[in-house]
Amino acid sequence: MTMPCVIGIDTGGTFTDFVMWRAGQLHVHKVLSTPAQPEVAILQGLHELGVDQSNATELLIVHGSTVATNAVLEGKGVTTVFITNRGFADLLTIGRQTRRELYNLQPQPPLPPLRAQACLETGGRIDAHGDIIDALTPEDLTQLREQLRALAPQAVAINLLFSYIDDRYERAIESVIPAGIFVSRSSALLPEYKEYERGITTWLNAYVGPLMQGYLARLCAALPRTKIAVMQSSGGTIAAEQAGQHAVRLLLSGPAGGLAAARFIAARAGRERVLTFDMGGTSTDVALIEGDLQLTTHGRIGAYPVAVPMVDIHTIGAGGGSIAYVDSGGVLQVGPHSAGADPGPACYGRGGRQATVTDAHLILGRLRADSFLGGRMPLDTAAAHRAIEPLSQRLSLSVAATAAGIVRIVNQHMVQALQLMSVQRGIDPRGLSLVSFGGAGGLHVCALAEALGMTQAMVPVHAGVLSAVGMIVAPRSRQLSKTVLGLQTIHSAEQINLLFEPLIQQGREELAQEGVRGEPLRVECSLDMRYRGQSYTLTVPWSSVSTSQAAFEQLHQQRYGHRLPLAVEIVNLRVALSVPSPSRSLPRQDSAQVAAPRAIQLLEMDTPVLLYQREQMHPQQWIQGPALIVETLASTWLAPGWTLHKDPDGNLLLQTGQAIADEHPAVWQ
């Protein structure tokens, strides 16, 4: 490989996606994931793309990994010890004392994240003003060292009260931890208030950090001449050499890649305010984009809160591999369990026997048995029929009606998720565009938009591998924060700017370690604010005292429907530093080889439906639904009453109503 080349790789639960950008051209690829050893699928895909791994000096790989995520969700992290102040050993177990089932009088207590023996107490306690309550003595440090030798953990998480004010005691504890043990220190990872959220985040970082370090080390060893970066949950990248130490910041790296690409492509199409849904084989991620990516510090992974900045998404167990079943009451249900990559849906022919959403689409004809993955992976229609038939018999329906029911149910699950990210936040989805991606997204986009009253939708170019596209357009970035409690009125703008300076400098130094020197940096400062007496905050941009307060009150009004006559308090400072996104334009598709559609018969339609090959559609071509548009890595179902056209970038832009056809009589049908 002699010319510069960038490859985005997204490791999903079912498929590993590749997008290779070289000399302004894109090449996409997809292979089945190998969850036990994700690097195996990566090396296989690189080989199939023709990448010479022995001479890849001009190659940059940007990777979205599920290693940390899967370890958390499956409870397969490393043996970890949690160190905190005396009297707080059960901090992570007690949490916020909230119950999952509020009205259940006999709830099942959640399993504690650590066993009691792995929670160690010591001195080094200070109060909210930084005054010492319980000093850390040499005897404390000696005892900790002996306890760690006896427990022999692979990782240690250190979380002392108010360490964001003074971190000297956490640093002292770190200095006596034996070599070879992974250390996660709360004052370095998340210097913010709320000891439980900070503690869980610090523990999660320790719990999966060695796994992430080991995986990245194996990947780097297999590609010794290649530069490797990893997508962070916040939508920016970090060098692989630093990523392992910040594993908790990688928990949503795949979904963040999808949102980065959706924002990039939708903005090129003139759509700045969009709802997105990424439907893959195992799950669906939904999000709202209004200009910049929306970040949150109240995210969750499984049962655990994660307080580091991450893209604000909602994930549900609804994907192409979601399993359909009839419950004890005789009602058809779909998900959240998935057939995954192995054995996968029944139609994959890999031993799966349970009916899935993918099998339902194949029965209905929306997936074509001979064109899946460009024909490289033929689908078994008979196997899909055999999987759905037992459900249809229990429901006293035809196989086709049962398949249609499976699709309607999974659609309703996704509609509820999209409403959560829009309606329940005071945002009317009818003023937004719906952007679908993921291998299965285009098959559901019209139904979801109709259910939400939306009239515009978009299926981006390369929608089946959009998360991998996001890897190659994402900037290198850092997100830093620090708690500084106090009423806003006692801070002047000059005081607040001085408080931001250390965070900005830290971010510059971390990016410099990746080789960012002399490049222009985008620095964005923001504040977490609340009314005095509240427990939760809202994040607003920092510009001046009055402007930030007005922005907070306006956002509070939108989110909660009211304002309060109370003083406004600054809780946290936040700084986002990023290098400008790489100038990698997507190739325009205005020279496609046009081919006429062919008619096919679908079970649910009375008349034949036209099938188009996406890459052979004429730019600016208008199509009226119903129609099926197929491509190598995805399919799009254009429902009756919808019209689409393909823009010069190759995106499919969908709109409702016959008005479009009236305005553009040269419709190719």
CATH number at residue 172: 3.40.50
Compute the distance between CA of residue 499 and CA of residue 482 in angstroms, rounded to an integer.
9
Same domain, 203 and 83: yes
pLDDT of the residue at 449? 96
Same domain, 114 and 185: yes
Mean pLDDT of the chain: 89
Residue 60 near residue 6 (C-beta atoms within 8 A): yes
DSSP strands (E only) in 410-462: 433-437, 456-459
pLDDT of the residue at 82? 98
Residue 405 near residue 397 (C-beta atoms within 8 A): yes
pLDDT of the residue at 659? 39
Q: Inform me whether the pLDDT recorded for 501 exceeds 80.
A: yes
Same domain, 63 and 80: no
Compute the distance between CA of residue 135 and CA of residue 387 in angstroms, rounded to an integer.
65
pLDDT of the residue at 542? 95
Block residue for tokens 């043990």: 181
Q: Inform me whether the pLDDT recorded for 490 exceeds 80.
A: no
Which of 522, 544, 578 is the last residue in one of the domains?
578
Kindly report the three-state secondary structure assignment for every residue of 566-610: CCEEEEEEEEEEECCCCCCCCCCCCCCCCCCCEEECCCCCCCCEE
Q: What is the mean pLDDT of residues 476-480?
A: 93
Sheet arrangement for strand 598-600: 598-600, 609-613, 627-630, 635-638
Q: Inform me whether the pLDDT recorded for 78 exceeds 70.
A: yes
Tens digit of pLDDT for each residue in 128-157?
999 999 999 999 999 999 999 999 999 999
pLDDT of the residue at 59? 86
If one counts every other C-beta atom within 10 angstroms of the C-beta of residue 369, the result is 16
Listed range (130-134, 153-157, 165-169, 533-537) with the worst mean pLDDT: 533-537
pLDDT of the residue at 394? 95
Same domain, 108 and 140: yes
Compute the distance between CA of residue 490 and CA of residue 40 in angstroms, rounded to an integer.
57
Categorize the per-residue pLDDT at 564 as very low, low, confident or very high, splitting at 50, 70 and 90.
very high
Compute the distance between CA of residue 600 and CA of residue 609 in angstroms, rounded to an integer.
5
Position with higher pLDDT, 155 vs 650: 155
Categorize the per-residue pLDDT at 438 as very low, low, confident or very high, splitting at 50, 70 and 90.
confident
CATH number at residue 504: 3.30.1490
- Does residue 669 lie in a domain region? no
Position with higher pLDDT, 490 vs 624: 624
Position with higher pLDDT, 599 vs 8: 8
Q: What is the mean pLDDT of residues 442-458?
A: 95
Secondary structure of residue 69 in the 3-state scheme:
helix
- Does residue 495 lie in a domain region? yes
- Give the number of domains in the chain: 4
- Does residue 379 lie in a domain region? no
b/e map of 614-646 (b: 16 or more CB within 10 Å)?
beebebebbbbbbbbbbbbbbbbbbbeebbbbb
pLDDT of the residue at 669? 43
pLDDT of the residue at 3? 52
Block residue for tokens 């992290």: 77
Residue 20 bridge partners (DSSP): 7, 27
Same domain, 66 and 92: no
Same domain, 234 and 168: no
Q: Say how many CA atoms lie within 13 Å of 647 toward its Cβ.
A: 16
Percent of the chain at pLDDT above 90?
A: 59
pLDDT of the residue at 584? 65
DSSP 368: -
pLDDT of the residue at 592? 54
- Does residue 174 lie in a domain region? yes
Categorize the per-residue pLDDT at 667 as very low, low, confident or very high, splitting at 50, 70 and 90.
very low
CATH number at residue 20: 3.30.420.40
Same domain, 618 and 495: no
Q: Inform me whether the pLDDT recorded for 339 exceeds 80.
A: yes
Structural domain including 528 reads 477-578
Tens digit of pLDDT for each residue in 262-301?
998 998 888 989 999 988 887 888 999 988 888 999 888 8
pLDDT of the residue at 340? 77
Residue 461 near residue 586 (C-beta atoms within 8 A): yes
Q: Inform me whether the pLDDT recorded for 662 exceeds 60.
A: no
Compute the distance between CA of residue 622 and CA of residue 612 in angstroms, rounded to an integer.
12
Which of 187, 212, 237 is the last residue in one of the domains?
212
Q: Inform me whether the pLDDT recorded for 657 exceeds 90.
A: no
Same domain, 94 and 207: yes
Block residue for tokens 């580091």: 308
Which of 578, 613, 646 is the last residue in one of the domains?
578
Residue 238 bridge partners (DSSP): 230
Residue 487 bridge partners (DSSP): 569
DSSP 477-529: EEEEEEEEEEEGGG--HHHHHHHHHHHHHHHHHHHHTTT--SS--EEEEEEEE
Percent of the chain at pLDDT above 70?
A: 94
pLDDT of the residue at 171? 97
Residue 304 near residue 298 (C-beta atoms within 8 A): no
- Does residue 406 lie in a domain region? no
Position with higher pLDDT, 282 vs 663: 282
Residue 415 near residue 240 (C-beta atoms within 8 A): no
Same domain, 112 and 205: yes
pLDDT of the residue at 66? 81
Token reading at 153: 């953990």
pLDDT of the residue at 323? 94
Residue 184 near residue 111 (C-beta atoms within 8 A): no
pLDDT of the residue at 1? 40
Residue 352 near residue 345 (C-beta atoms within 8 A): yes
- Does residue 361 lie in a domain region? no
pLDDT of the residue at 462? 87
**DSSP element (H, E) containing 466:** helix 466-473
Categorize the per-residue pLDDT at 587 as very low, low, confident or very high, splitting at 50, 70 and 90.
low
Secondary structure of residue 43 in the 3-state scheme:
helix
pLDDT of the residue at 141? 97
Compute the distance between CA of residue 3 and CA of residue 173 in angstroms, rounded to an integer.
48
Listed range (104-108, 211-215, 275-279) with the worst mean pLDDT: 104-108
Q: Inform me whether the pLDDT recorded for 481 exceeds 70.
A: yes
Listed range (419-428, 481-490, 581-590) with the worst mean pLDDT: 581-590
Give the CA distances from residue 225 to residues 38, 217, 219, 241, 553, in Å, rounded to whole numbers and listed in that order: 19, 13, 11, 14, 52
Same domain, 134 and 246: no
Closest Cα to residue 622, out of 585, 574, 575, 657?
A: 657
Compute the distance between CA of residue 251 and CA of residue 69 in angstroms, rounded to an integer.
5
Residue 468 near residue 17 (C-beta atoms within 8 A): yes
Residue 144 near residue 83 (C-beta atoms within 8 A): yes
Closest Cα to residue 461, out of 268, 214, 668, 177?
A: 268
For 262, residues 6+ apart whose C-beta sits below 8 A from its C-beta are: 274, 276, 289, 435, 437, 460, 466, 470
Compute the distance between CA of residue 372 and CA of residue 361 in angstroms, rounded to an integer.
12
Same domain, 65 and 80: no
- Does residue 567 lie in a domain region? yes
Same domain, 533 and 558: yes
Residue 231 near residue 62 (C-beta atoms within 8 A): yes
Token reading at 158: 């250190």
- Does residue 244 lie in a domain region? yes
